[in-house]
Amino acid sequence: MLQNHYEIRPREKGPGVGLSDSLGQHADLWFRNAEAALEYAVFSARRDGGTIRVYGSSGILHLEREVRGDVHSGKEELFREGR
């Protein structure tokens, strides 16, 4: 099973941030701020697991978070790596 990667980046033109994922299920969604995009990405990743990456305006990775969800047992693990 492929693991999804969610990327949150500032929009090149205009305010807000964009969210995209490696499997193409959430292509080019727009959010007002990174917090809203991160909340949506975590919610989506809880189903199948995945890695969430938040990039700054210079393209530098600011946050990487791996989410592993187990919907059958109701357990969830959240790992955070700061860079």
Per-residue pLDDT reduced to its tens digit, 60-70: 999 998 888 65
- Reported pTM: 0.74
Per-residue pLDDT reduced to its tens digit, 8-58: 999 888 889 999 988 777 667 899 998 999 999 988 888 778 899 999 989
Q: For residue 79, what pLDDT is reported?
A: 45
DSSP SS3 for 72: coil
Per-residue pLDDT reduced to its tens digit, 1-22: 567 899 999 988 888 999 998 8
Write the CB contacts of 38 (distance below 8 Å, at least 6 apart in sequence).
8, 52, 54, 63
